[in-house]
């Protein structure tokens, strides 16, 4: 997930092109994306209040069925969800790993993925609401308890 920080014009092979300058929320790196290609790579507006409410609804689901998959199979499934780029899929990963952690120890990879999912959701909501990440993190911790 990324935030548009500016729009710049550059000459590329003799053609003047406009670029979005994006700040990746999870790493703070900056990248440039041609404005004309933005929709093809999934660039979108910040999530709406309605979408934020849906994220919190997903996070509050208490009964999450877990099968007896090995941790690495679960990990691959969670990674596939994160790669979709859908905030709702990332919210499900955050919820499922948080609920699973209450019942059993998570593998190192699962703990890292839990932190990544939490960070992505916190950053997304903070940007959309114009709030600090700390305030959003507290809201989420209230659902699952402190991490």
> What pLDDT digit, counting tens, does each position of 75-87 carry?
898 999 988 888 9
Q: What is the CATH number of the domain that holds 35?
A: 2.40.10.170
Structure tokens, 128: 């959309």
Same domain, yes or no: 27 and 57: no
Same domain, yes or no: 96 and 137: yes
* Per-residue pLDDT tens digits for 43-70: 888 899 999 999 999 999 988 776 677 7
pLDDT at 136 over 80: yes
Same domain, yes or no: 37 and 56: no
d(CA 14, CA 52): 43
For 88-101, give one letter per residue: b (16+ CB within 10 A) or e.
ebbbbbbbbbbbbb
Q: 55 vs 26, which has greater pLDDT? A: 55
Same domain, yes or no: 64 and 111: yes
d(CA 138, CA 125): 12
Same domain, yes or no: 35 and 54: no
Residue 18: give the domain boundaries.
Answer: 2-41
pLDDT of the residue at 146:
60
Q: What does the radius of gyration of the chain's CA atoms come to, in whole angstroms?
A: 17
Same domain, yes or no: 14 and 53: no
3-class state of residue 87 by DSSP: helix
Mean pLDDT of 115-133: 92
Same domain, yes or no: 61 and 110: yes
Structure tokens, 16: 């003047």
- Residues of the chain with pLDDT > 90: what percent? 54
* Per-residue pLDDT tens digits for 33-42: 999 888 887 7
Same domain, yes or no: 35 and 80: no
How many domains in the chain? 2
Same domain, yes or no: 61 and 131: yes
pLDDT at 147 over 60: no
pLDDT band at 94 (very low <50, low <70, confident <90, very high): very high
Same domain, yes or no: 32 and 89: no
Same domain, yes or no: 56 and 120: yes
pLDDT of the residue at 68:
73
């Amino acid at each position: 997930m990324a935030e548009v920080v500016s729009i710049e014009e550059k000459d590329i092979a003799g053609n003047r092109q406009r670029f979005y300058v994006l700040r990746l929320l999870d790493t703070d790196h900056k990248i440039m994306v041609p404005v004309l290609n933005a929709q093809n790579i999934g660039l979108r507006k910040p999530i709406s209040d309605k979408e934020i409410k849906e994220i919190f609804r997903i996070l509050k689901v208490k009964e999450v069925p877990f099968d007896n998959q090995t941790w690495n199979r679960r990990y691959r499934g969670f990674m596939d969800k994160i790669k979709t780029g859908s905030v709702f899929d990332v919210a499900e990963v955050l919820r499922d790993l948080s609920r699973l952690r209450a019942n059993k120890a998570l593998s190192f990879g699962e703990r890292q993925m839990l932190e990544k999912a939490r960070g992505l959701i916190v950053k997304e909501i903070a940007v959309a609401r114009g709030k600090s990440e700390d305030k959003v993190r507290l809201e989420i911790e209230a659902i699952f308890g402190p991490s």
